[in-house]
Each structure stands twice: as C-alpha cells, then as structure tokens.
Structure 1
C-alpha cells in the first residue's frame, strides 16, 4: 500500500489537488512519530501554492451576547448561563478598534455580531460603521453577521465589504450535535450567496467539539468542495455555562496533525489561526503550526476570550522570516 504522505507529495504538492475525505482521514491517523514529516509536507505545500506572506487580521464584536441560537460552544448564546451579556459598540469605538488593528500591520478588520442574522437596525449600524472606517483608516473591512438573505448579501457587497465570514463550524454529519436552532444547509446557502456576490468567503469551524476523526476528515473535504478564500481554524476553548463547557482541550499533537491535514486538503486557501490556539498549542505549538501550513493569523483578543499580544505574534513572524501581506495585495 502506498504511503499517504507519498501520495500527498504528488497529488497536493506537485499537482495542487487537495486530499479527499478518505485521504485526510489517513493523515489524521498518522502516529506522533510521523507528525514532523506531515508538518514539513504541509509547509512545503503552503509555500508553493500560497507563498511566504502571512495575512494579519483583527476582529471586534459590534454586538456581543444575547444571541437566540443555541450553538453549544458559544458563550454568547442567550440560552445558556454563561456570563456574557448583550453589549453594543458605537461607531466611534468601532473606528478606534479599526485604527488599533491597522497599527499592527493587519490588512483585515472584521466586524462581528452575535445574531442569527442581521435585522434592519444592525444593517444600518454596519453601514455607518463601514463608511466611517473606510474614511478613517486604510484597511479591508470584513463582516460576520450570521445567516443572510440575498438582499442583505447584495447590500453588504454594495457597502464595499471585502470578505464575509460564516463558518460551517463542523461536518454536516455532526452539526446536529452542535446546533439545533438552525441547519448546516442554511449556513451552506449563505456561503454560496456570498461567494456568488463577489465577496471573498471566509468559512471554517471549530475542532474538538466531540467529532470523530472521520467527521473531521469529512469537514475538511466539505470545505474543499466549498472552496472558501479563507478557512479560520479554531480549537475549542471550553466556555463555562455552555453545553461544551466541560469538554477536554485538544492536545497539541492532535491540533498540529489537524492543521497539516487541513492544509493538504486546502492547498491554495488562506488557513488562519483563530480561537483556542493559546490553550491548545501554547507558544511552541503556535510556532510549529506556522511551519505546518498556517499562513494567516488573528492578532489580539477574540470575541469573548483573550488571545496573545499582537507584539508576540508579530515577533514570531519576524523570527520565522514570514513577511506580513501588504494591504495593496489584498485590496
């Protein structure tokens, strides 16, 4: 039987064709003693098909907490006893956050709202915020506002929103164990509308929510079918008061194996470090992931959890001689 890494070297590295679900599963099952080889191949794939640049992004929550959905990992759900409560940012605070993000060298600033989908009030607030940010600072504006109608997709595109984030979160076969108030198909439909409207699509998920390795491989292949411009890869950081609050943290080797496998399934995609890397990987593991397929990073804090300081991440990129992607390259 041919070794999966030998297959991937030809199929992914040489030809640029991502792994299918069965092949991804073989990578996820590789023993720890082969992890170094897997990471090295993933890094070679990243360098060949994406290049050395790293895209830096900051995020801010326009509306935090009070969400009606029951995503079992999320402390912003109004259905759980987690301590997060509904808060709105005003436009001045939004612009200040965008300026602070741009000062780190970031080219992307994402406005996030904890909602099922935006109502008229939220769309009006986003419109004002996007306009104010574009007048005040040179940075690409992205949004993550839940599920959209076609009219809302067209409206965001007309505002000049550069990229829209809407995560599938997990494999289709596992989604019902994570969310019950909407379907995987509803999320998929929003992703298709975003892509067809000409905005860049950011779509990823969370690893460590009780899925099997088979389902993790299924998820990688489903993202490959969707072909998003960017995949944010989160690792579950269990939040008190949520149904997943007592779940174990993904181990470092397992997280790195997942990163490398997703790179091999998505050779041309921006693969972004997102939430949970601090508790799962720590400093050394974060470095290993940057050498195992990751080519984008969220700097600073997340929506309801703390991240590493931007300076530490930027110092790491400097140490690894990975240049930050310039704004002119992403506009």
Structure 2
C-alpha cells in the first residue's frame, strides 16, 4: 500500500512537532530509510496530541515496507529457572529470591507444545532455555526435541533462544535445522551495565554476529521500562538497526517479585505505543513483534492500537514465567483488524 505524498504546509512550518512527522514521512515512508538516533529521540519526545498521527505513520510504514501479514509465534521453556546470570528483570535468575524454581521439560512435553502452537495457526515455535549458554546436555535435549517434533509430522519452523553461543554451537544449531535464533540485546549499550553485570552487551552482540554470518535469521530486541532514558531508547533503536535483525521483539517490563526491579512502575500505555512507533520508524523493514508485558502495559485496546501502530508480529499464548492472553483472543483481534496470518509456506 502506497500513501499519497505528503505536502509541506504552513502548519508544518509553524509547528516543529508536525514538521518532525513530515520529515519522518518523507524519509521513512517514501524512501524507506530508518531514522537516525537524533530523529528517534525527537519522535520519543513528541507530545501526546501527536500520538495518533505518529501511530498512523508507523502503520503506513509497516504496510508499505512489510505488508499486511502478521507472523504468529508460540514459545516454550525447555529449561526454566536456575540461571547463573543476574539480569535484574528476570525471575529465572538463580541469584534472586523469586518463586521460580529450576525445571526441565521432557521431549513429549516439547512435542505437545509445538503441536498446540501449530494448531493456533502459528508458523514459528521457539525453544527457550534459562542459561548463560547451552551445555552438551541442553543441546542434546534440543536436538532430540527437534527430531521428535519433525517425526510427529509437525513442520512448524523452529527457533531457539539458548543464551550466548560459541561458533561450534552456532554450527550445530544450523545443522539441526534451526532457522532463527533469538538473543535479546535487552537495552542500549550505555544502559546495559545497570541491567546485567555477569556478562557484557558485547558478548551478546558477538553471538548475534556469529548467528547472522552462519545464515540463521537474527531475532533480537529488548525490554522497555527498565529505568532507561529517552536518549537510551533512541540509542537502542539505532543499535538494533545496525544489527539488521530479521525480527525485533518488543517487551515491556513486568516487575517480578524477588528481582531488583520488583518495585519498578509499569510504563504508561501511551509511552509504550510511542516507543513501538519510534522503533518502527528506525527499522522500517524489520519484523516488529509484540512480546511480554503488552497485556499489562496496554490492555486489549492498546494491543489493537499497537497492531495499527507499526507491529506486524505477535507471540500468542503464555510467555516463559508469565501468563499471556488466550491465543484465541489475539487471533480474533487480528481477524477483526483484517490482518492475515502469515502462512507457513511463505516462511519456509
């Protein structure tokens, strides 16, 4: 869908905020060029009365450069809890007194979860583990799980999120048939030491570089609302653009009991929507996925606004340690918005 060119008006010249959107329209919608860090910051600082126009522009950009289809994904944890890292947002860290305890999912459970995900119409199934990086036992479990899923006749695409990798492990996952790897950068490089101290932002970046060079699709995003500034959100958006990921999951902090962030306030829905739209304008051709925390931050109406404000992918069902909306609700929402679900044949 191509929008009609937007003509500069006297109003735009009098109103700096309107001028920001006019410039973004010409650069991103018409030329397909993502915004710079300075420009993203300007978008993040737009007044609330500019939000409807911003969301409308983000939706036009999504439709122009990504199309109307929505990719639907389900996720499951094969190894939950007991992680040695200190990611301050995460209830699965073994360093914090959270209610989550270490557990493994068996192969029949993994096959069942994949089948249930496929039954929703999802084309993507992501196997997740709470670890610094995979050991031999975990990789063997993943291999056996993928083989069992295939032997069951389920041809859903398999993604993995297993922490930081070595080159040998990257090669092993490619050989298993994993086509997409998720490893979130989580936040801007400048803010990362405030969020995690047991490993570095650069270590995560190195894993993503190896994944990309091996030919797997790169999935990397983060969490909004961890005490970062607007400047750091803008920094994060352009750092992700530099990575050129296939997919960017947009999570919103759910303050978890027992973690250092348990008393953080949930960000306001309008700020969440403004951030999603800003990321769309920084990443016009990237799949932008609604992920954890959208139910708490946005609610039902906000989720629809996000889908009309730049988002073109969604996780359905539950998350790793948090309940999501029933998959049927999200599928009904997409149907009501007349957004087709991306077919499996289009992603193979």
What is the TM-score with the length of structure 1 in the denominator? 0.99
Residues 25-68 of structure 1: CA deviation (Å, up to 9, x unaligned): 00000010000000000000000000000000000000000000
1:158 CA drift (Å): 0.8
Secondary structure of the 2:248 match is strand
For residue 223 of structure 2, give the secondary structure of its aligned residue in structure 1.
Answer: strand
Shift of 1:130: 1.0
CA deviation digits over 1:101-148, x for unaligned, max 9? 000000000000000000000011111111111222120000000000
Count of aligned positions: 331
Counterpart CA distance in 2 for 1:134 and 1:40 is 41
The equivalences for 1:125-136 within 5 A come to 125-136=141-152
Matches of 1:32 and 1:4, distance apart in 2: 14
Aligned-residue offset at 1:4: 1.4
Aligned to 2:125, which of 78, 99, 109?
109
List alignment gaps of at least 5 residues for structure 2. Answer: 1-12
Measured in 2, the distance between the counterparts of 1:97 and 1:269 equals 27
Match of 2:231?
214
Aligned pair partner of 2:326 in 306, 309, 312: 309
- SS of structure 2 residue aligned to 1:281: helix
Distance 2:311 2:97 in 1: 34
Aligned twin of 2:194: 177
**Which is higher, the Rg of structure 1 or of structure 2?**
2
Residue equivalent to 1:74: 90
Distance in 2 of aligned mates of 1:127 and 1:288: 39
1:242 corresponds to 2:259 = yes
1:256 paired with 2:265, answer: no
Give SS of 2:77's match: strand
Aligned residue for 1:189, secondary structure, equals: helix
**Bigger shift: residues 127-136 or 220-229:** 127-136
Q: More displaced, 176-185 or 129-138?
A: 129-138
> Pick from 156, 162, 165: which aligns with 1:148?
165
Note the aligned Cα RMSD (angstroms). 0.7
The equivalent residue for 2:64 is 48
1:212-260 alpha-carbon deviations (Å, 9 max, x no partner): 0000000000000000000000000100000001000010000000010
Q: 1:13 aligns with which of 29, 34, 37?
A: 29
Stretches of 4+ moved more than 6 A in 1? none
Question: For residue 329 of structure 1, what is the aligned residue in structure 2?
Answer: 346
> Any unmatched runs of 5+ in structure 1?
none
